[in-house]
Structure 1
Amino acid sequence: MRGVVWLRRDLRLQDQPALAAACADCDEVTPLFVFDDPLLRSRQFGSSCVTFMVSCLVELADTLAQRGLSL
């Protein structure tokens, strides 16, 4: 069985029960993150936030790759 885990704002691997459950129950797991236009255009989400989120996503992708998953 294949599973998809939609990662939204919490990009830490710790305390990700959905990801842990998918890895336990599925043969193949695809973690997914989507930059959506409403989020990027919101006033609370400036360029420094985007830069920080991208760096977090790079770190997350590296950690997932070490575990055999790709973001």
Structure 2
Amino acid sequence: MLLSWMLLQVAAVPAPQPELICRRVEVTGSIARKERVCRTKAEWRDADEWGNRRARAIVDESRGRMSDGL
């Protein structure tokens, strides 16, 4: 009985939520408008890496090289 109570107590503890990092991001098509965007550290890292890969692909295409399909 004590074991089942202990298991219920452990299961009732919510998992810690990842910390959000918020940035003000320029809105495409607007001169001054910015939006607040909140993501986890991993999500920001993934977005930054995707942007870098996309920029590299654009440069490679402009030089006539094949990109990695982005």
TM bin (shorter chain): 0.3 to 0.5
Higher RCO structure (Cα 8 Å, ≥6 apart): 1
Structure showing greater Rg: 2
TM-score, normalised with respect to structure 1: 0.37
Q: Name the TM-score, length of structure 2 as normaliser.
A: 0.38
